Amino acid sequence: MGKREEIAEAMRTKVVSEFKANGHLTSVKQLQDDFSVSIGTAVRAMKDLIEAGYVYSNQQGYFMAASLPITEREDEQRAIAAELRAEAQRLQEIATRLDRTV
């Protein structure tokens, strides 16, 4: 994985884990310093995130998108559904044990 991809993945992870619609993100200058890359590499990594729908930019800097791309929401929904299925199974097992004791 190149530095550009490393920066993009780190920022994508930050956006997904700390999502706040329109939340301000780190400057490209800070990314340049943090990852020891050229300003061009940092800018290209952020452009990758803009194209993917995670980030937008204006004259004040880079910001989290108003909502996560569909793929992230789908992944999150799948994870929640899996947790709910596991909890339902656990509750069913408890109900079965209770039925046996009554």
pLDDT digits (tens, 9 = 90+) for 48-79: 999 999 999 999 999 999 888 876 666 677 77
pLDDT digits (tens, 9 = 90+) for 18-47: 888 899 998 999 999 999 999 999 999 999
- If DSSP states are collapsed to H, E and C, what string results for the chain? CCHHHHHHHHHHHHHHHCCCCCCECCCHHHHHHHHCCCHHHHHHHHHHHHHHCCEEEECCEEEECCCCCHHHHHHHHHHHHHHHHHHHHHHHHHHHHHHHHC
15 pLDDT above the threshold of 80 = yes
Residue 72: per-residue pLDDT: 63
Query: Sign of the CA dihedral 57, 26, 66, 68?
Result: positive
pLDDT digits (tens, 9 = 90+) for 85-102: 889 999 999 999 998 887
- pLDDT band of residue 16 (cuts 50, 70, 90) is confident
Does the pTM exceed 0.85? no
